[in-house]
């Protein structure tokens, strides 16, 4: 069974052909910058799929899309980072053109499913996947099934409110988890705590001609910088609150952490585990582990293709 997985991003589209074992047989990649309408992008995706699967009998196409997706009908309702994407019937358009089944899921859900089937979630039954990136994305697998919910919006943990009087989020609410624990929040917190103090955070960024980001915070913390240590402690305490909420809500056996911030590795995971445990109710202690994601940049397309395996 040959399946194409597609990761539809705001700036690029990546596609790969998979065999039934999940091995990648070929890849295609293209920029979306100069394709204006959804129809244009869809036509290009159809061309990519034909080209990458040439000579193979194709049985399905799995698509990971940013933004709000109706997975039951395969419609992208509103594509964040995809201007003019409103109610785009991907399953219908692409299915008719290609004559195969097309499955569409939100990119965080695709990533969760990818980690569950092929990555750090293997051998787990109940898994929570969280990506700490520019924002926070999440996806939930319960009893071996990807949790979609009534309108397939399940898993927006980044917009759980953790501080009712906190700063305003793009979603319109105040104090969402991603306002405190995303890479962007870590950067903002660093800028705030560096005011009037010297810190290796700013020095590291300046030396490389880069704008200060969460990456520099963790690097400076590794070097023993006290401001960075403060920023990390604050960020991790907020990350832990959200993970503890997820433990109490879903009772997972595994929490898989992805996204750019997870690259902090041993500067992050031991403290994150310890801080999360502080908020965990007794019956849940020792029932889950917190591990880094496995799949990196390919997670979206791997997860999208894997929708056809153990769905």
- Length of the chain equals 311
Work out how close the CB of 267 gets to ligand ADP at its nearest, in angstroms, rounded to a whole number. 7
Work out what residue 174 binds among Zn ion, ligand ADP, none; the CB cut-off runs from 5 to 8 Å by kind. none
The Cα–Cα gap between 215 and 199 comes to 14
Q: State the nearest-atom distance from the C-beta of 260 to ligand ADP, in Å.
A: 2
Residue 178 or 225: which CB sits closer to Zn ion? Answer: 178
CB of 218 to ligand ADP, least distance (A): 4
What strands lie across the sheet with 75-78, from one edge to the other? 68-70, 75-78, 86-88
In the list Zn ion, ligand ADP, none, the entry touching 215 (Cβ below 5 to 8 angstroms by class) is ligand ADP
24 binds Zn ion (CB under 5 A): no
Kindly identify the residues of this chain, within the stretch 172-201, that bind Zn ion according to CB under 5 A: 173, 176
| Size, binding site for Zn ion by CB under 5 A | 5
Token pair 């996204």: residue: 259
Three-state DSSP state, 87: strand
CB of 222 to ligand ADP, least distance (A): 9
Q: Report if residue 171 touches Zn ion, rule: CB under 5 A.
A: yes
Residue reference for tokens 């990533």: 111
**Dihedral-angle region of residue 152 (phi above 0 means left; psi in -120 to 50 means alpha; beta otherwise):** left
Identify the three-state secondary structure at position 101.
strand
261 contact choice in Zn ion, ligand ADP, none (CB below 5 to 8 Å, kind-dependent): ligand ADP
Q: Which is nearer to ligand ADP, 43 or 134 (CB)?
A: 134
Query: Is the dihedral angle over the CA atoms 186, 187, 191, 197 positive or is it negative?
Result: positive
Question: Which x/- pattern over 131-170 shows residues binding Zn ion (rule: CB under 5 A)?
Answer: ----------------------------x---------x-
Nearer to Zn ion, 162 or 229 (CB): 162
If you ran DSSP here, which 8-state letter would residue 133 be given? S
Binding site for ligand ADP (CB under 6 A): 133-134, 183, 213-215, 218, 259-261, 263-264
Interacting partner of 159 out of ligand ADP, Zn ion, none (Cβ under 5 to 8 A depending on kind):
Zn ion
CB of 9 to ligand ADP, least distance (A): 9
Write out the two tokens for 33. Answer: 């910058």
Query: CB-based burial of residue 189 (10 Å sphere; 0-12 exposed, 13-18 middle, 19+ buried)?
Result: buried
Separation between Cα atoms, residue 293 and residue 256, nearest integer Å = 5
Task: Record the tokens describing residue 100, joined without a space.
Answer: 């195969």
213 binds, among ligand ADP, Zn ion, none (CB under 5 to 8 A by kind): ligand ADP
User: From Zn ion, ligand ADP, none, which one binds at residue 264 (CB under 5 to 8 Å depending on kind)?
Assistant: ligand ADP
Report the partner that residue 176 touches, choosing among Zn ion, ligand ADP, none (CB closer than 5 to 8 A by kind). Answer: Zn ion
Sites of contact with Zn ion (CB under 5 A): 159, 169, 171, 173, 176
């Amino acid at each position: 069974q040959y399946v194409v997985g597609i990761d539809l991003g705001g700036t690029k589209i990546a596609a790969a052909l998979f065999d039934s074992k999940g091995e990648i047989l070929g890849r295609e990649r293209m920029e979306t910058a100069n394709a204006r309408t959804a129809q244009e992008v869809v036509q290009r995706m159809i061309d990519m799929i034909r080209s990458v699967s040439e000579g193979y009998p194709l049985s399905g196409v799995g698509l990971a899309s940013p933004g709000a997706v109706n997975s039951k009908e395969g419609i992208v309702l509103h594509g964040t980072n995809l201007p003019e994407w409103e109610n785009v019937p991907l399953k219908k358009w692409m299915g008719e053109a290609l004559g195969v089944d097309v499955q569409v899921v939100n990119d965080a859900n695709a990533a969760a499913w990818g980690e569950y089937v092929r990555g750090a979630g293997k051998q787990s039954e109940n898994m929570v996947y969280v990506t700490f990136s520019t924002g926070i994305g999440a996806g939930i697998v319960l009893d071996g099934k990807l949790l979609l919910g009534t309108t397939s919006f399940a898993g927006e943990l980044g917009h759980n409110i953790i501080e009712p009087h906190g700063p305003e989020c793009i979603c319109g609410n105040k104090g969402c988890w991603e306002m405190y624990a995303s890479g962007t929040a870590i950067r903002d917190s660093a800028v705030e705590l560096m005011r009037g103090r010297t810190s290796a955070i700013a020095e590291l960024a300046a030396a490389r001609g880069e704008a200060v980001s969460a990456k520099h915070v963790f690097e400076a913390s590794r070097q023993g910088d006290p401001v960075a240590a403060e920023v990390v402690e604050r960020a991790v305490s907020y990350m832990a609150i959200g993970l503890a909420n997820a433990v109490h809500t879903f009772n997972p056996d595994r929490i898989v952490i992805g996204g750019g911030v997870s690259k902090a590795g041993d500067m992050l995971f031991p403290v994150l585990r310890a801080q999360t445990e502080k908020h965990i109710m007794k019956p849940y202690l020792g029932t889950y582990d917190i591990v880094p994601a496995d799949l990196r940049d390919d997670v979206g397309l791997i997860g999208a293709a894997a929708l056809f395996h153990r769905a």
